[in-house]
Amino acid sequence: MAGYRREERGREHTGTYRLFLSNAQGQFLSPFHDIPLYAARTEDVFNMVVEVPRWTNAKMEIATKEPLNPIKQDVKKGKMRFVVNVFPHKGYIWNYGALPQTWEDPRHSDESTKCHGDNDPIDVCEIGTKVCCRGEVIKVKVLGILAMIDEGETDWKVIAINVEDPEANSFQNIEDVRRLKPGYLEATVDWFRRYKVPDGKPENQFAFNGEFKDKDFAIQVIKSTHEFWKALVMNKESVGGIHCTNTTVPDSPFRCSETEAKAFVDAVPAYGAGDSIPVDVDKWWYSKKN
C-alpha cells in the first residue's frame, strides 16, 4: 500500500459506503484512472487494486459510473450483495480486484472469444499467501488468464501473485500454479462457473473450453484493454456510462482539480458504524455439479 492511502466514508454494508484512495501528498485519486497500470519496468508486473479480500463475501467493486470511482458494495434488488458460499468454497477464494487503467470495451468484439467487453476494468485473482485489505494497491506478477463469458460478454480473469509473496519467485507461468497449488485452477473455474447459480441464473460459460491461457497471452489481453482505456479517458464524451473524472492523467478532458476531487469525497457522509452482515452469509449452498 506504499504511496496510497485509504479513506472510508459512509456506513459499511449500506448503500452509503465508499472507499476513496489518495496519494502520499493527500491528493485524491481514481483507482480506475489515476493509478498506473505498470508497477515496474518489466512487462509482467502490474498494479492491482484489491476490491475483495480473500474469504470475504461482500461484493465490493470500483464504482465505474461515479466521480473518482470509489470502491462500493454492489446492490441487487435493493439489497447489499454478498456472494453465496457455494460448497466447498468460502467467499472469494483469492484476493479479488482489478487492474487500473484497463477497460473491456463493450463496443469491441474480442477476436478470441467473439464476445464484446463487459464495460469494466479487467479482473484479477491474486493467489498469494497474504489476505489483503480492501482498497490496498499491490504489485502483482501475471501468470495466466481465464476467459469467462458472463451473460454473453467477455469477462477476463487474470491469475496473478503478489510480487512480495514469499513464494513469488517460484511462480513464472500458469503451469507453475497447476504444479505448486494443485486443484486451485480447477477450483477457480468451478467458483466462476457456479457463483451466480444460487441467484437463479444459469452457470457461466468459458471460452477455450475453460482452459487457462498462459502469461504471454494474458499480457497481450492486458495491453489491449490498456489501449481501450487510453481511448476512453481521452475521449471528449463518456462511453458506456463510465465516469472518467481523474486528477492526474495528462491532457485528459475529464481531469479535475484537487479542490473538485475533495468536494466529491466530502459529499459522502463521514465514516460511521455500519450494518451487521446478514447471518445467512455464512451458510453453505449445495448443488450438483453439471
Whether residue 2 has pLDDT greater than 80: no
User: CB pairs under 8 A, 24+ apart, for 111-118?
Assistant: 112/147, 112/207, 112/208, 113/147, 113/149, 113/154, 113/207, 115/149, 115/152, 115/153, 115/154, 115/207, 116/152, 116/153, 116/154, 117/153, 117/154, 117/225, 117/228, 118/150, 118/153, 118/154, 118/155
Length of the chain: 290
Average model confidence (pLDDT) across the chain: 95
How large is the average pLDDT for residues 28-49? Answer: 93
Q: What is the pLDDT of residue 3?
A: 87
Q: What is the pLDDT of residue 41?
A: 78
How large is the average pLDDT for residues 68-73? Answer: 98
H-type helices in 119-212, by residue range?
A: 174-180, 184-194
**Dihedral, 209, 213, 218, 220 alpha carbons, nearest 10:** -90
Q: What is the pLDDT of residue 89?
A: 96
**pLDDT, tens digit, for every residue of 141-184?**
999 999 999 989 999 999 999 999 999 999 999 999 999 999 99
- The DSSP symbol for 193 reads H
Q: What percentage of the chain reaches a pLDDT higher than 90?
A: 90
Nearest to 97, CA basis, from 159, 36, 11: 159
Q: What is the pLDDT of residue 100?
A: 98
Whether residue 109 has pLDDT greater than 70: yes
Distance CA 207, CA 116 (A): 13
H-type helices in 81-238, by residue range?
A: 174-180, 184-194, 215-234
Q: What is the pLDDT of residue 240?
A: 87
Whether residue 13 has pLDDT greater than 90: yes
What contacts 206, CB < 8 A, 6 or more positions away? 146, 147, 148, 149, 189, 192, 193
For the record, the C-alpha cell of 237 comes out as: 464524451
Cβ-based neighbour number of residue 284 at 10 Å: 11
Q: Residue-wise over 243-259: b if at least 16 C-beta within 10 A, else e?
A: bbbbbebeebebbbeee
**pLDDT, tens digit, for every residue of 227-269?**
999 999 999 877 889 999 999 999 999 999 999 999 999 999 9
For the record, the C-alpha cell of 177 comes out as: 500454479
pLDDT band per the 50, 70, 90 thresholds, residue 129: very high
**CA 7 centroid distance within chain:** 18
In order of their start, the domains of the chain are 4-274 (3.90.80.10)
Whether residue 1 has pLDDT greater than 60: no
Q: What is the pLDDT of residue 107?
A: 94
Choose between 191 and 3: higher pLDDT.
Answer: 191
Lowest mean pLDDT among 129-133, 171-175, 197-201: 197-201
What's the pTM?
Answer: 0.96
How large is the average pLDDT for residues 210-232? Answer: 97
